[in-house]
Amino acid sequence: MYKNKLRETLQAGKVALGTCVDTFSPATMEVAGYSGLDFVRIDTEYSWRSDDSLDHMLRAAALADVTAMVRITKGNPYLASKVLQAGAGALLVSDIESCQEAVDVVRASKFAPKGVRGYSSFSFAAKWGTGGGKEWVEWSDSEIMVGVMVENTRIMKDLDEIFAIDGLDYCLFGPADFAMSLGYRGPAKNDPQVQAAFQKTCELAEKHGKTVAIGIGQPWLQDAEKYLNGGCRMLELGHDLGILRSAWQKAVQEFSTAKKR
């Protein structure tokens, strides 16, 4: 029963650093862990592979001691259970609009009597039957982190109640989708209404002892300062493909400039 690295970092009062891996590459997951990151978000909302890619990603996370956060779409409690059985250390559910939907997420993630998650120890998470039983059930309900997205105007009316839910640990604030819900036709993360919603999210989360995460871009420290001052304690440092693209573009520009000399 290993310690959840992400939870440990937050409980120690530190800022948790992570990233998102879009490539479903186990090697990239390992590199993220060996680089010292606390969590890696695997996004199955906008990409999904009907093969064993996710299984390999979760094994790589365990090997490199980094918490795998898997984002899924709402409304399927069996999918939440499958992700946790496969070894995810954190669950994240998108497009939440009400307190009841958030309650359903928590219930899908916890064993009875806290929730409705079905029991089977024949999984990677329970070491294929050798690590099941009461100890594993208690570990699952206490170590695995459960979170929801705050990414639309509709959730704001219930946000105080949502953060009061026992068993909900964190949220990921999505400024791009929040801007879209305001009527923008594209990302507008610096819009005053978006920033005001982010600030309200942080204030309510702190009130209930919960954690807020947000994705930031380069330059990292400049973007991070604003959100850390606002009360955010989990920072997602870009996406693997975005970071790679940025590095290659910078290299191409440097060589292009050198050729003109």
259 has pLDDT over 80: no
What is residue 172's predicted lDDT score, i.e. its pLDDT? 98
Closest CA to 12 of 32, 31, 38: 38
Q: What percentage of the chain reaches a pLDDT higher than 70?
A: 100
The residue-averaged pLDDT of 127-139 equals 94
Q: 153 Cβ partners below 8 Å, 6+ apart? A: 178, 181, 182, 197
Please tell me the predicted confidence (pLDDT) of residue 182.
94
Query: So what's the pLDDT on residue 157?
Result: 97
CA-nearest of 171, 167, 237 to 198 is 171
pLDDT at 257: 85
- What is the structure's pLDDT at 28? 96
Contact assessment for residue 21 and residue 40, using Cβ atoms and an 8 Å cutoff: yes
102, 148 contact by CB (below 8 A) = yes
pLDDT single digits (tens) 163-194: 999 999 999 999 999 999 999 988 888 899 99
What mean pLDDT do residues 209-235 have?
Answer: 93
Mean pLDDT over each residue of the chain, to the nearest integer: 94
CA distance to 11, 63, 113, 211, per residue, from 181 (Å): 33, 39, 36, 23
Residue type, 80: A
Using the predicted structure, report yes or no on whether residue 260 has a pLDDT greater than 80: no
What type of residue is 25? S
Task: Report the Cα–Cα distance between both ends of the chain, in Å, rounded.
Answer: 59
Residue 116's contacts (CB-CB under 8 Å, 6 or more residues apart) are 77, 107, 108, 110
10-38 pLDDT, tens digit each: 999 999 999 999 999 999 999 999 999 99
User: Which pLDDT belongs to residue 123?
Assistant: 95
Instruction: Quote the pLDDT of residue 13.
Output: 96
At position 231, the amino acid (one-letter code) is: G
pTM of the model: 0.94
Could you tell me which CATH number the domain at 5-259 has? 3.20.20.60
pLDDT at 261: 65
**In the structure, how many helices (H) and strands (E) does the chain have?**
11, 8
Distances (CA, A) of 247 to 89, 219, 223: 30, 13, 18
